[in-house]
Homo-oligomer: A and B are copies of this chain.
C-alpha cells in the first residue's frame, strides 16, 4: 500500500510513545526511521523498526537514558551513551560536533556505550545540512571473518564521509563488508544473486549466492585483505578515542547474539573556516562534472556521485508516498 510521510511518521511516533519514549524523542526517532524509508533505505527504516522496538522491550535500548558528557578538552569531547536509543545518541553527538566546529574549525565527539545508529548516512546528512564536512564511524559486533579466517571476528564497521554543496550532499555511507546485512537480507528474500562475490561458501569459495553466505557467515570485506585491515583499524580508533568497547568486547557483552553497548566517533570540519567559500563550491562542481563526464563503461547509462540516487529517491517518495508491502505495514500498525 501507498503510505505518506505523515502517516508513517505518525504511526512510528505512536508505537514509540507506547515504548516509553518522551514526545520529543519519539518524534525525533519517528522522523529518522521515516526519512530512512523515504530515502529508499528500507533496511534501516521501516523494515528495521520492529527490531528496534524489540530491543527496547528486551531492555537493551533504554528509552529514558540521556547521554552524559564524560570529558571535554578543546574541540574533543567524549560522551557516554548510557545504552539509550542509538539514533538519538548519534544525533546529539553529531550536533555537538557541528557546534564545536563552527567555532574551532573542526571537532571530534565520541560516544561509548551506545547502540546501533540505524542508517549511517543520517548523521552525515545532518552535519551537511548545517554546512559541515563530516566523518563518522561505528564499530559493530563480530559479523565478518578477518582475512584468512573462516569465523567472524571483526565488524563490518560502517563509516560515512559527507561533503555539502549547496542543497546537495556528496555522501558515502558504506559498510566494510562488500554488501551490508540489509542488502544480504533483501537478496535472500528476493532469491537474487549478487552482481559480484559477496562472501565465501562453507567450503571457502567466493560466491555470489546470498544463501551460501548466510549459511557460512563468511561475508567478504571490500578489497579482500584491505577491508579486513580497515575494519580492525577503525575498531581500534573508535574504541580508543571513545574509551569504549571494541568489537571483541561487544561480542562478550552480547554473548555473540545481541549487539549493544557499541562505540562511535563523529568529526566535523568547517569548510570555509579559513574563508575560501567560492573556490570550494567551484571545485566541487567542477570535480563532479569531470567525474560524471567520463566515457561510460559497457552496460552503464550514467555515472553517479555517492548520495545522488538516494536524494532522487527521497524527492520521488515525498511527492508520491512510498509503496510498502501490505503485510509489513500491518505488522507496524500492530506493534
Contacts and interface: CB of A to CB of B under 8 A. Distances in A.
Interface of A: 71, 73-76, 78, 104-106, 108, 133, 145-151, 153-154, 161-163, 170-172, 174, 178, 196, 200, 203-204, 218, 222-224, 226-227, 229-230, 232-237, 239-241, 243, 246-249, 269, 271, 273-274, 276, 279-280, 283-284, 286-287, 290-291, 293-300, 302-306
Question: Main secondary structure on chain A at its contact with chain B?
Answer: mixed
Given A149-B300, A274-B78, A133 B240 contact: yes
Contact of A283 (B108, B147, B240, B269): B240
Nearest to A105: B76
A223 B227 contact: yes
A119 to B, nearest CB: 16
Given A204-B297, A226-B174, A274-B73, A148 B233 contact: no
Contact of A291 (B153, B227, B306): B153
Given A76-B105, A243-B279, A274-B73, A153 B232 contact: no
Contact of A203 (B76, B236, B298): B298
B296 A170 contact: no
A296 B174 contact: no
A15 B156 CA distance: 47
A48 to B, nearest CB: 21
Contacts of A146: 291, 294, 303
Given A161-B230, A286-B248, A240 B271 contact: yes
Nearest to A243: B276
Contacts of A237: 133, 161, 163, 269
B279 A150 contact: no
A254 to B, nearest CB: 15
Contacts of A248: 286-287, 290
A76 B196 CA distance: 41
A172 B229 contact: yes
Contact of A236 (B279, B284, B296): B284
B236 A170 contact: yes
Given A150-B298, A236-B287, A241-B269, 13 more contacts: A76-B104, A106-B108, A133-B240, A146-B291, A148-B297, A161-B237, A162-B233, A170-B236, A172-B233, A174-B223, A174-B230, A229-B306, A246-B287
Contacts of A222: 222-223, 226-227
Contacts of A297: 145, 148-150, 200, 204, 218
Contacts of A229: 172, 174, 305-306
Contacts of A239: 283
B226 A298 contact: no
A223 to B, nearest CB: 3
A286 B233 CA distance: 14
A301 to B, nearest CB: 8
